[in-house]
Structure 1
Amino acid sequence: MKNRTCILISHNVPLTVKKADYVVVMANGRVKAQGTVDELVATDAFDAEVLKSIADTTTATSDVGSSQHSSTSVTEIEDEENKKENISKGKLVDKETKSEGSVSREVYFTYFHYFATRSNIILILLFFIGAQLCSVAESWWVRVWTLASSHNSMLVNITTSAIHKYASFSITSILSHAQSPNWWFAPVVESPVSASILSVSHSPLYYVIVYCAIGVAFAIVNSTKAFVTFHCGLVASGQMFEDLLARILGANLRFFDSTPVGRLTNRFSKDIESLDQEIAGTLDFFLGMVFTCATVIIVICAITPAFMLFSILIVIIYYLIGTFYLTLSRDLKRFTSIAKSPIYQHFTETLTGITTIRAYGDERKFLVQNLHFVDASNRPYFYNWMCNRWLAFRTDVAGAIIVSLAASMCVIYVGKIDSGLAGISLSFAISFNDCAIWILRMYAELEMGMNSVERIKEYIETPPLEPPAEIPENEPAPNWPEHGAIEVSNLALRYAPTLPRVIEDVSFNVKAGEKVGVVGRTGAGKSTIISSLFRFVDPDSGFIKIDGIDICSIGLRRLRQSLNIIPQDPTLFTGSIRTNLDMFDEYADLQLFEALRRVNLITADDYQLLIDSNGKLEQDLENAENPNKFLKLDFEITENGGNLSQGERQLICLARSLLKSPKILLLDEATASIDYQTDALIQKTIRQEFSSTTILTIAHRLKTIIDYDKILVLDKGRVVDYDHPYKLLVKDESLFKTMCEDSGEFEILIGLAKEAYGSGSK
C-alpha cells in the first residue's frame, strides 16, 4: 500500500489508530472527532483502554513481529503446500455434464410413472383412437352425402314438376307434415314417379345433423383427451417438483459445496417450466400426429391396397430424415440446457458483489462476461431452428412423393373405386406430409422435454441425503441435554470420501456449563468442529457424545433443536424484526424487547418505557433524527438483512439465541463485526445470561475469550493445547501464547487471563 491512499473502516481501534496518519471517529451517524492520533489523544477522544494500548504495544508489536516473522513464513508456506495437495486430491466443483445419444427408456418410464397409472394411460390411448375414428367418420359421411347429392338433384327436378302437376299445398299441409316423426327423411311433396328413389333418399338436413353429431362427438372426445392429458402432465410436474425440492433440501452440505447455485436455479426454473408447460402439450400433439399418420396409411391402403408396397418405402425415407434431424437437435437442446446454468451463476455472483464491482469500476468486464454467456446459450437455439428448416425442405419433397403415389393408385383403380373414395384417399395423402413433419418435430421436442426430465431425475436420485431426521427407537429424554457436557474422542472428519481428513484424532472434554474458546490459524479446523456437533459432517472415526449420548445415534431434528448457534455470517430473512426473532410466534413482545436490551440494541431507559407502556411505545421512525429502529418490532428487514449493518445482524442472531436459553451455545465469530465496547457488554451479557450454559466460541478476537474456562487450540486439524488461558500464556512454546503476542495486546491479555484464573481458583 506504499504511496497509495487507504481508507480503513474498523472497530478494532487499538490495532488501527497507532499506525494511522489521520483518524475520523464516528458516533451516532456523525463525526465525533477527527485529526491525527496525537491530536485526538490530546483531546481525550479515545477511552483509557485504547490509550493504554497505543502507549504499551507499539514497541512490543515491532519486536514480536520481527521475532515471529520467520516461523510464520514457514507456516504459511506449509499451509499453501497443504492447500495445493488437497486441491489435487479432490476437485470441489465438477463440470456440468450432459447425456449422450437418445433419451433412455428409464427416463420415459420415470416420467410416465409420475404422469399416470397404467389404466389412465390406456384410457388416454382410447381417446386418441376415438378421435381418429371420428375424423375418419367425418370424411366417410361427406362421401355418403356427396354420392347422395346426384340422386337429390334428380329428385329436385322430378318433385318440382310433380308439385306443379299433382299437388297444391298450403301452410297447413306443411305443418301437418312437419309433425310426422320422420319428416327429415323425405321432402314435403312426394312424386309417384320417384317413389323408388324417395324410399331410400334423405333430405339435406338429415346429412347436416349426422355430420354435426360426428363433429360434436369429435370435439367432446378431443377436448376430454386434451383435458386428461394436461391434467396428468400437471400432476406429474407437481409431484416431480416436490420430490426434487425434498431431495435438494435433504441433501448433505457436501452437495451444496460442489454444486453451483446456477445449476440448481436452472433445474428449478427452466427444467420445471418445461414440465409445466411443454411436455404434456408436446406429448398430446405427438401422439395425435402418430395416430393421424397411421390412420392415413390404413385408409389409403384400405382404398388402394397396392399402396401398401410403397408405404414401406415411405416409412424408410421418413426414418432416415428423422434420424439425421433428431441426432443433432437432441444434442443442441442439451447444450442449451447446460448453457443456461453459467448465466444464472454469473448473474447471482454479480449481484452479490455489485458494490465491489462498482468500487473498482469494473462493470464493463462483467457486462461482457454476461453477454458472452448469453451468446453461448443462444447459439444452439439458433442452430436448432436451422435444423427445423432442413427438416421442412426434405419432408416437403417426401410428401410430394406420397401425394403422387396416392394419385397414381387412384388412376390405377379407376372402375374399382368411386369418386368419393378417391377423394378420401387424395385428401388423406395431402395431409400426411404435414402430419409426418410434426411427428418428427414433436418427437424432437419431446426428446428435448425429456432432457429436462432427465436432468431433474438426476437430482432426484443422485444427491446424497443427510441422516434420518428421526430415529424413534433412539429418541433421547424430553429434557435432553439436561447438563450440556460434551465428550469428543478420537474424532476424525473429512468432507468427502475422496478428500483428505481435515480433522485428525481430536479428543477433548467439556464439562457442563464450561466456557471454551476455540482458536487457531485459518484452516485449522475450528468451524469444522462446530459443524460436526450439528452433524453437517459425520465422523470418519471416533465419536461425539452430549450428556453421554452419541449424537450419531439420534435423529437430526432432535439434535439440532437442542443446540443453538450464532454463525459467522448472520442469517436473517425477509420480514420484520419480530419474525426474525420469533419465527414460530412463541414469545410475547416484552420478551422480544428484553432480548434486544440484553444485546444492547435498545437502551435500558427505552426498555423501561416499553414496560410502562406494556410494549406499545410508539416512535416516529421517519421524522426522528437517527431513530432506533429496534423499538418497532414491525420494522421491515429486507432480504438477508440488507438494510442492517453486519454488527446489527449478528446482534439480532444473538438476541434470537437468548430467547431460547439453550443448554449448549455455539458462537462462530459471533461478535467479529462489533466494536470492542459493545463486544464487552455482550460478553458480559453472555456470562450472566448463560451462566449454566455450555459455550463453545470460535474467536479471532482473543480478548473475547481470554477469561474463558478453557482454550482449545487447533492447528492443521489436531489439538495442540487445551487448558486455561493463563496456563497456556505462561507455557513455553505455546501456540496460543504466540497468537496473543502477534495480536499486539499481549500485556493486556495476560493481565485479563491472570485475573480470571485467580477469581476462578478462589
Structure 2
Amino acid sequence: MLPEQVFALLHAYVSMQRIEEFLNEAEVPDWASSLKSDISPDVSEDKIGFKAASFEWDVAPKNEPSRFTLGPLNIEFPKGKLTLVIGPTGSGKSALLNALLGGLEHATIKDNIIFGSRLGYDEARYQAVIEACALTRDLEVFDAGDSTEIGEKGITLSGGQRARIALARALYSQASLILLDDPLAAVDMHTAQHLVKNALSGPLAENRTIILVTHHITLCLPVASYLVELSFGDVLHWGTIQSLQERGQLQQLVAAEDIKDDSLPDTEAVTLENEADLAAGMQVTNPTRKPSSGKLVEAEARAEGRVSLRSYLTYIRAAGIIAWILTLLLVIQMRLINIAVQFYLARWGEAYEDSEASRSNQNWHWPWERLPSPNQNVVPWLMIYFYLSMAGAFSVLAYISLGYYASLQASRTLFNAMLTRLAAAPTRFFDITPIGRILNRWTSDINTVDGQLQSSFRAALYGSLNFLASFTVIICVVPSFAPFAVVIAWLYVRLAPSYVQASRDLRRLESVSLSPAFAGFDELLRGLPHVRAFGMEKRYQDGFYKKVDKFQSFDHVYWLVANWLRWRYDCLGSVVVFLTTVFALWSGIGDGLAALVIVQAEVFAEASRQLVTVLAQLELDFNSVERIVEYLDVPQEAPAMIEEKRPPAYWPSNSGELSVNNLEVKYAPDLPSVLHQISFTVRPSEKIGVVGRTGSGKSTLALSLLRIVEPCGGSIVIDGVDISTIGLDDLRTRVTIVSQDVSLFSGTIRSNLDPFAEHTDQECWEVLERCHLTSVLNRSGENNSSVPLDTPISQSGSLSAGERQLVALARAVLRRSSVVIMDEATSQIDTDLDDQIQRTIREEFASSIVITIAHRLKTVLDYDRILVLGGGEVLEFDTPRTLINKRGGVFREMCKASADWPMLRSIALGKEVTNGSSS
C-alpha cells in the first residue's frame, strides 16, 4: 500500500509541476481578452493602429538570422472605412492582423453565422448577410439549408464556402472593427466581385472599420479609403487612396496589378441569377428549409449490458495467452506460500508449549514436527521461515514483473492495431467523427489499458484466490461454520449485481461525456483568434465548464455508489469475523489455529468485498478495451497493395493518357452525387485547367483521382490502368496532388520537403530555388542570404499560407510524377509570384499531365484545354481559343465579366496560335 501511495504522490508532483509551468506562461494583454473586460484599454475609441510597434512570432530561436520581425509600425487606420493591406507572399500581412488582435466551430451553418451575437437571431439582418456573402445558392444545395451541420474545421464545405461563412459571421456581428485575411482568395472571380460590391462596400459595411488583406488590389481599390503595402515586415507605402494617387505611388501598384489580376472594379458583379446559370440551373428552394436534419455527426455510441466476451479475449490475446497462464500459476503459488507461512507461524507458536512426549506419540508428523523445540534451538525455525519468505518475495516479484510485461504488451498491441486501422480509415470516417472522440480513445482509454486495467486484472485474480483459499481454510479448520458461510456468501452475491450494473453504466456515461470536452478544447485552440476577435471567450469557457461538470457528475455518482457498497460489505465483514471467532472458540481448537481462522475470516471478509468491487472495476476498465475494439472495426480503405494487380515500375509513363468515363462520386451512400457521370480524356503531357463556381465539384474530382473519395460509378484510367483495380499505395505514390489546404508537420524544411530522405541536399536546394522559396523564406530580403534546410517549421505559425503552398509545390516538383494535380495550389500567393510559379510548373512538368484547379482565370488560360464544371457536370471542355470564341459559352461569360477581357482573349488566342504553329 505504501509504495503505491508514494508512486501516486510522485505522479501528482510531476502533474503539478506541468500545471505550474503552464500557469507561468505569458498571457495576452488585458485589452486583447473579453474575459478582462473590466479593464479599459488605454486607447482612444476614434483611433485604431500602431505607434512605434514591432512584433515577432515566437517560433524561431532568438539568434536565428531569418527570424521574422514585423515593424516598426506607425499606422493609423481610418475609422469607418475600408483599408487594404497588400504585399508579396510572406511580407507580414496576416501577422499584422494578428497583432491587432481561421476557423469554423462544429455546429450548423446558421449557428456559425450568428456565433453568439448579442443581436440573437435577426431574420432581416441574417437574410441580408446571406445575400451579401453569396450564400443563397449554396444553402439551396444542402438538403437541410442553413441547418446543415458543417463538421469539424468545416470539413463538409469547400474552401470558398468556408471563407464566405466566416465573412458572413463578421458582417452579422455588431463589431465596429472587422479584420479579414484574404477571403477573396478562396472564391472565383464572379463571387469575389459580388462580395466586394455587396459585403465590403454595401449597407452591412457602412460605418465599420474594415482592414482587408488581399492580392486583388484593382478589384477592391474603388471601395477602399486607405492602403498599406508591406514587404519583408516593413511598411513600404501607406496612406489614403487620394494621397497615394497624388504622390504617384498608386499608379505603380495599379499598373502592376492590371497585368496580373483578372478582376474589373467597375464592371457589374455577376448576379446570383447568372451564377445559377453557371451552376446548370439547380432547383431553387428556400435556404432555411429543413426537409432533413442536416446532422453530420451522430451521438457517440454507448454499449449497454455486460462487456462482450470478445473484449476480454481481445485483451488476453493482445498480451499473450502464455503470459496470462504463467501469471495465474504465480498467483496460485503466492497464495499457497502465504497460507503455508500462516500455518507455519501458528504451529511455531504452539511448539513452545508442546512437550517432546506429546510429539513423539503422534503417528503422523508435519515436516516441522521433526524440528527441535524452539525452546531448545530456534535457528531451524527461523531458517524455514526465512526460506518461505524469500520464496514468497520472489513469487511476488515474478508476478508483478510478468503482469506489467503482459499489460504493456497488450497496450502496445492494441495501440498499434488501432493506429493501423485508423490510418487506413476512409475520409468519411473522419468527416463524421469529431477529433475529441478520437483523442478520447488515444488518451483516456489507452491510459486505462496502460495502467488501471492491469492492476484490476491482477487484483481480480488475486482476490478470487484469496476468497477461495480463506473460505477453504475456515471450512477445514471449523467445519461447523460452513452453513453460515453459505448464507453470508449468498448475501455478498445478492448485493453485487446492483452495484455492478450501476457502476458499469456510470463509467460508460463518463467515458462518452469526456469526448465533447476534448473536442471543444481542440476546437477552441484551432479557432482562438476568431474567439478572441468576437469576444466569445466567456461563451467557450462556460461551455467547457458545462462539459467538464457533466463528466465530473458521473464520476461523483460513481464513487457514491462505491461507498454504498463498501458500507454494506463492511457490515457483513464484521459479522463474518464475529461468527468465525465464536465458532473457533466453541470448537476447542488450539490457540494458533484459532488465530489463523480469525485472520482468515478477516481475509475472507475483505476478499469478498474486494472481489465484487474489483470484478466490477475490471468490467468498467474493460469498457475502455471495448471502446478500442470498436475502432478496430472501423471501415477501411482499399488495400495498400494488391500483389497480382501491381502496375509496372514505369507506370504511369509520360506517353499515357488519363481517361475519366461516366464518373459518379458520392461522399456517402446516403448522400446525393457530387459528380454526375462526367467523362473526359487528357492526352499525354497535356495541361488541363479546371474552372467553375465554388462548390461545382472541382476538388471532388481531384480527390477522386487519388481515390481519397471512392467513385460509386464509372472509372478512371491512367496510362491503360483502371485505378480502382490497383492498391492505394501504388496509386498515391505515382500521382502527386498539391491541395488548397496544405499540411505541414513540425520539423524542418528538409523533413517537410523530403520526408522519406530519398533525395540529396543539392536536389532539395535546387527545387527550393526553382520554386522561389529561397527568396521568400529569406526574411531579410538580401539576395545573398540563404536559408538552411534545417530551418525549423512548426505545424502552424512559422510560415504564411502562401509560403506553405510553396513548400507543398516544391515537394511535388521533387517527386517528378507523371500526373500532377494542382487544387488551388497558388490561391494564397500574390499574383506576381503566381506568374513565376506557373512558369516553373510548365518547365518542371513539361512532360507530365497537369490538372490545375484555379479561380484565377489567367492561371490556366495558356493551358492546352479548359474543363468547365457546374453542378457536378461537365459544362464545357475544349481549347481556350474555342471556348473564348463560343458565343454564350460559360467560360466566355466568365472571362467577359473579368477585369481585362481583351487581355484574357489575346492570351487564349496566342496559346492556340502557338500550338498550331508547332504542329
Q: Which range, TM-score by smaller chain?
A: 0.7 to 0.9
Of 721, 735, 743, 1:571 maps to 743
Please give the per-residue CA displacement for 1:678-709, whole angstroms capped at 9, x wherever unaligned.
11111122122222211101111112112211
Shift of the alpha carbon at 1:85?
9.3
| TM alignment of 1:623-642, pairs within 5 A | 631-640=787-796, 642=797
Please give the per-residue CA displacement for 1:643-665, whole angstroms capped at 9, x wherever unaligned.
11111111111112122222111
Counterpart of 1:122 in structure 2 is 325
Matching of residue 50 in structure 1 with residue 224 in structure 2:
no
Counterpart of 1:357 in structure 2 is 531
Rate the CA distance shift 1:403–1:56 in 2: closer, same or farther, 3 A.
closer
- Match of 1:491, SS state, is strand
- Match of 1:233, SS state, is helix
Cα separation, 2, equivalents of 1:757 and 1:632: 42
- Match of 1:18, SS state, is helix
Matching of residue 700 in structure 1 with residue 855 in structure 2:
yes
| TM alignment of 1:72-151, pairs within 5 A | 72=275, 78=282, 88=292, 91-117=295-321, 119-151=322-354
Cα separation, 2, equivalents of 1:55 and 1:325: 71
- Match of 1:712, SS state, is strand
- Match of 1:670, SS state, is coil
Is the 1:629–1:635 Cα contact (8 Å) retained in structure 2? no
Please give the per-residue CA displacement for 1:10-36, whole angstroms capped at 9, x wherever unaligned.
012221112212222223322222344
| TM alignment of 1:57-456, pairs within 5 A | 57-59=264-266, 61-62=267-268, 65=270, 68-72=271-275, 78=282, 88=292, 91-117=295-321, 119-151=322-354, 186=372, 203-414=377-588, 417-456=589-628
Rate the CA distance shift 1:392–1:75 in 2: closer, same or farther, 3 A.
farther
Shift of the alpha carbon at 1:362?
2.0
Amino acid of the residue matched to residue 316 of structure 2?
Answer: F
Shift of the alpha carbon at 1:451?
0.5
Of 823, 826, 850, 1:668 maps to 823
Of 764, 774, 779, 1:592 maps to 764
- Match of 1:6, SS state, is strand
The 10-residue stretch of structure 1 (669-678 or 553-562) with the greater mean CA deviation from structure 2: 553-562
Shift of the alpha carbon at 1:602?
3.1
Is the 1:602–1:628 Cα contact (8 Å) retained in structure 2? no
Matching of residue 480 in structure 1 with residue 640 in structure 2:
no
Matching of residue 756 in structure 1 with residue 914 in structure 2:
no
Counterpart of 2:43 in structure 1 is none
Rate the CA distance shift 1:125–1:592 in 2: closer, same or farther, 3 A.
closer
Cα separation, 2, equivalents of 1:555 and 1:397: 65
Rate the CA distance shift 1:74–1:371 in 2: closer, same or farther, 3 A.
farther
Please give the per-residue CA displacement for 1:590-645, whole angstroms capped at 9, x wherever unaligned.
332322222222359x9xxxxxxxxxxxx9x8xx67899863222111124x2111
Is the 1:86–1:500 Cα contact (8 Å) retained in structure 2? no
Cα separation, 2, equivalents of 1:240 and 1:52: 59
Matching of residue 465 in structure 1 with residue 636 in structure 2:
yes
Of 727, 730, 743, 1:555 maps to 727
The 10-residue stretch of structure 1 (595-604 or 203-212) with the greater mean CA deviation from structure 2: 595-604
Rate the CA distance shift 1:137–1:675 in 2: closer, same or farther, 3 A.
same
| TM alignment of 1:524-543, pairs within 5 A | 524-543=696-715
Is the 2:880–2:908 Cα contact (8 Å) retained in structure 1? yes
Of 680, 685, 688, 1:508 maps to 680
Rate the CA distance shift 1:55–1:113 in 2: closer, same or farther, 3 A.
closer
Matching of residue 4 in structure 1 with residue 176 in structure 2:
no
Is the 2:775–2:783 Cα contact (8 Å) retained in structure 1? no
Rate the CA distance shift 1:122–1:202 in 2: closer, same or farther, 3 A.
farther
Cα separation, 2, equivalents of 1:213 and 1:28: 78
- Match of 1:99, SS state, is coil
Counterpart of 1:191 in structure 2 is none
- Match of 1:488, SS state, is strand
Of 895, 900, 909, 1:740 maps to 895
CA-based RMSD of the aligned residues comes to 2.9
Matching of residue 715 in structure 1 with residue 886 in structure 2:
no
Matching of residue 519 in structure 1 with residue 691 in structure 2:
yes
Rate the CA distance shift 1:736–1:350 in 2: closer, same or farther, 3 A.
same
Shift of the alpha carbon at 1:82?
10
Cα separation, 1, equivalents of 2:547 and 2:685: 54
Amino acid of the residue matched to residue 651 of structure 2?
Answer: W
Counterpart of 2:165 in structure 1 is none
Which protein has the larger Cα radius of gyration, Structure 1 or Structure 2? Answer: 1
Rate the CA distance shift 1:224–1:602 in 2: closer, same or farther, 3 A.
closer
Counterpart of 2:133 in structure 1 is none
Cα separation, 2, equivalents of 1:501 and 1:551: 20
Cα separation, 2, equivalents of 1:475 and 1:552: 12
Shift of the alpha carbon at 1:56?
9.7
Rate the CA distance shift 1:388–1:660 in 2: closer, same or farther, 3 A.
same
- Match of 1:385, SS state, is helix
Is the 1:90–1:499 Cα contact (8 Å) retained in structure 2? no
- Match of 1:541, SS state, is strand
Shift of the alpha carbon at 1:745?
4.2
Cα separation, 1, equivalents of 2:641 and 2:290: 34
Shift of the alpha carbon at 1:533?
0.9
Cα separation, 2, equivalents of 1:421 and 1:635: 76
Please give the per-residue CA displacement for 1:68-105, whole angstroms capped at 9, x wherever unaligned.
44344788995785998999387432111111122122
Shift of the alpha carbon at 1:459?
0.3
Counterpart of 2:808 in structure 1 is 653
Rate the CA distance shift 1:741–1:5 in 2: closer, same or farther, 3 A.
farther
The 10-residue stretch of structure 1 (228-237 or 735-744) with the greater mean CA deviation from structure 2: 735-744
Cα separation, 2, equivalents of 1:574 and 1:225: 42
Cα separation, 1, equivalents of 2:328 and 2:261: 86
Shift of the alpha carbon at 1:734?
2.3
Rate the CA distance shift 1:761–1:237 in 2: closer, same or farther, 3 A.
same
Amino acid of the residue matched to residue 233 of structure 2?
Answer: G
Matching of residue 32 in structure 1 with residue 188 in structure 2:
no
Cα separation, 1, equivalents of 2:449 and 2:625: 7
Amino acid of the residue matched to residue 530 of structure 1?
Answer: A
Amino acid of the residue matched to residue 808 of structure 2?
Answer: C
Cα separation, 1, equivalents of 2:552 and 2:545: 10
Shift of the alpha carbon at 1:732?
3.3
Shift of the alpha carbon at 1:249?
0.7
Cα separation, 1, equivalents of 2:288 and 2:390: 73
Amino acid of the residue matched to residue 508 of structure 2?
Answer: R
Amino acid of the residue matched to residue 598 of structure 1?
Answer: R
Counterpart of 2:78 in structure 1 is none
Is the 1:469–1:555 Cα contact (8 Å) retained in structure 2? yes
More helix by share: 1
Shift of the alpha carbon at 1:350?
1.0
The 10-residue stretch of structure 1 (390-399 or 34-43) with the greater mean CA deviation from structure 2: 34-43
Give unpaired runs (5+ residues) of structure 1: 156-181, 187-197, 607-618
